[in-house]
Chains A and B, each alone.
Chain A
Amino acid sequence: MSADPIDGVEEGPAWWDHEAGPVVRPYMVTGGRVRPVTVDFDLITYLVATATLAADTPSPEHQAILALTQEPRAVAEVASRVDLPLGVVRVLLCDLLSDGLIARYDPPPTDHLPNVETLQAVIHGLRAL
């Protein structure tokens, strides 16, 4: 892209531009497995390890996730801290889940806005910031 992104006039014909990262290779840590973007781990699904570091976890990446989730962490946070793309992290989380090494806590059903009490608590909390 030769255009100055701040001017943002010329976006070029490619749909991957300044807001997209570099083109990357398929992922080795997942053994080449990829999952569609829309999978069941929400970005704010919480994860908690149900085991301490297990010697028999499949990979250092799995280990890293187990170490991180010794305290509750959201999926987005785990991905950011292990520095792997979300899709890769979701595959690893599926492994850990099926091995019984991790527990997931999903956000409430998505078809409802939070209740009045929750919203009031958020407003109160924001005011107190």
Chain B
Amino acid sequence: MDSVRSDTAPVPQALKILVAGGFGAGKTTLVGAVSEIAPLRTEEVLTTAGVGTDDTTGVATKTTTTVAMDFGRITINPSLVLYLFGTPGQNRFWFLWDELATGALGAVVLADTRRLADSFAAIDYFEQRNTPFVIAVNCFDNDQRYTAEQVREALDVDGHVPVLLTDARDRMSVKNVLITLVEHVLTMVRSSVPA
């Protein structure tokens, strides 16, 4: 082919961080607060066998639907780019999580104190996968009545998992969440015994 370039462009190393949380927990807001681009949206198409149908025709019913993920990007330096993926919190989307969590640097579980139980599935999932994670407690205006320690107790997470109060709209606050996560990963890497 004549038009093939000889100078293959080097590409940056890409890292990804997951932002998991229930509907309305502030995932898209958090991604948008630190992303250098307006959050972009991708969709994954899911085909599933019909749910709850009483199929007597012998024809398999399939439902095709889409699940949206918002993501943002932070260029750390020319050779290192961080992607943040906001992922639906419900564990019925576990197949998506598997894809997203594979190779992820770590995860932010965005907990909404009005609906703490919404974050249980994500916490269980990351604990089981050994994906490093932090819990960011999104402080909605009229909801300042919990401390990080109270949330930690309510969620029953290990003492080593960082729990922070945050405001997903605030860039500095979100920056701090991400730095805490990466420092947490660094601690885990340093303390792991080399094979």
Q: Which residues of A are in contact with B by a Cβ distance under 8 Å?
A: 5-6, 8, 13-16, 18-27, 34, 37-38, 42-44, 46, 48, 50-52, 54, 71-72, 74, 76-77, 79-81, 85-88, 100, 103, 105, 107-110, 113-116, 118-127, 129
Contact = CB atoms under 8 A, between A and B. Distances in A.
Given A19-B23, A44-B15, A44-B16, A113 B132 contact: yes
Contacts of A129: 34, 74, 171, 175
Contacts of B23: 5, 8, 18-19
Interface string B64-103: 1111110101101100111101001010110110111011
A87 B186 CA distance: 34
B67 A21 contact: yes
Contacts, number: 184
Interface stretch (B3-11, B149-157, B160-168): B3-11
- Chain A at the B interface: SS class: loop
A8 B188 CA distance: 36
B1 A51 contact: yes
B99 A50 contact: no
A116 B189 contact: yes
